[in-house]
């Protein structure tokens, strides 16, 4: 009986592993065929390599730009702006949500304004930010933050309100102050919502920063894209896109890591 089950379990594990391997293999195959197809199409002139570039050109440019240091500079500027914009938007948004939770009066007063701000396309405020904060990285970070700020405030505030009142009752029955109830029950109970907001905010921060760099046009990956576009160097545009894709994925993965740490015990 026992050995039969052991054998079946071994079979089952083997099948599961094989399946995972198959999926990985197909994923890699798709990636490879994309690049090979792109390269072939470019060298066979099915597509115009001047417009669509090719993997080998992007790679060559990558090496050149790494050596002259300009790529590292642009990438680190953008990364710095994005991370800061992301953190600012998330923390300020959560902080505002906490204030709204604290004061129901204020939250009702501000409700229509929050709705207006939320429906507003934030990138349209770009020119005003640049006029107000100067054409530098401050306004770009502000853009990255602003784009996620309002939605974070709304979503997190709703999460705070939807926390089961009985958790707060438990806290209160021990004589907890409002502050203790907030940090002991409301805040930790909202972790799952906060994490999903983080995930959305990663994407939003990138949008804000890239658009900001388009407008300011001084440095960064967004600047590389707009510059490459203006001088018809699409290899440069492609290179920027590939780097953005890689970095954005890394940021997203980091958030998932935080998620696993924070909410592994919930059911």
Residues that bind other proteins (CB under 8 A): 164, 166-167, 169-176, 180, 184-185, 188-189, 191, 263, 265-267
CB of 172 to other proteins, least distance (A): 5
- Measured in whole angstroms, how far is the alpha carbon of residue 31 from the centre of its chain? 22
CB of 202 to other proteins, least distance (A): 23
Sign of CA dihedral 213, 219, 220, 222: positive
CB of 182 to other proteins, least distance (A): 12
CA nearest neighbour of 52 among 60, 44, 41: 41
- Token look-up 């006029």 returns 131
CA nearest neighbour of 143 among 157, 158, 128: 128
174: tokens are 């021990």
Pick the closer one to other proteins by CB: 118 or 180. 180
Pick the closer one to other proteins by CB: 100 or 185. 185
CB of 152 to other proteins, least distance (A): 21
Pick the closer one to other proteins by CB: 92 or 262. 262
Give the count of beta carbons closer than 10 Å to the beta carbon of residue 246. 10
Q: CA triplet 257, 261, 263: central angle to 5 degrees?
A: 110
Give the count of beta carbons closer than 10 Å to the beta carbon of residue 145. 27
CB of 266 to other proteins, least distance (A): 5
Pick the closer one to other proteins by CB: 94 or 148. 94
Please, are residues 82 and 265 in contact by the beta-carbon 8 Å criterion? Answer: no
Pick the closer one to other proteins by CB: 131 or 257. 257
């Amino acid at each position: 009986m026992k050995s039969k089950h052991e054998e079946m379990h071994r079979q089952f594990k083997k099948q599961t592993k094989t399946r995972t391997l198959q999926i990985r293999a197909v994923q890699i195959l798709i990636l490879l065929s994309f690049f090979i197809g792109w390269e072939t199409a470019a060298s066979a002139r099915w597509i115009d390599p001047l417009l669509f570039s090719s993997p080998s050109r992007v790679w060559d440019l990558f090496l050149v730009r790494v050596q002259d240091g300009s790529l590292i500079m642009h990438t680190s500027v953008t990364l710095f702006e994005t991370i800061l914009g992301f953190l600012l938007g998330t923390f300020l948004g959560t902080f505002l949500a906490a204030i709204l939770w604290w004061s129901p009066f204020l939250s009702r007063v501000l409700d229509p304004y929050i709705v207006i701000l939320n429906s507003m396309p934030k990138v349209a405020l770009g020119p005003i930010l640049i006029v107000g904060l100067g054409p530098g990285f401050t306004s770009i970070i502000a853009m990255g933050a602003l784009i996620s700020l309002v939605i974070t405030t709304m979503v997190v505030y709703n999460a705070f309100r939807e926390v089961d009142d009985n958790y707060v009752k438990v806290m209160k029955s021990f004589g907890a102050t409002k502050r203790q109830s907030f940090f002991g029950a409301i805040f930790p109970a909202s972790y799952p919502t906060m994490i999903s907001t983080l995930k959305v905010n990663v994407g939003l921060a990138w949008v804000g920063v890239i658009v900001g760099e388009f407008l300011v046009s001084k440095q960064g990956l967004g600047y590389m894209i707009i510059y490459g576009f203006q001088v018809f160097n699409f290899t440069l545009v492609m290179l920027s896109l590939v780097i953005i894709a890689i970095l954005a994925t890394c940021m997203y993965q980091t958030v998932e890591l935080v998620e696993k740490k924070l909410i592994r015990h919930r059911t």
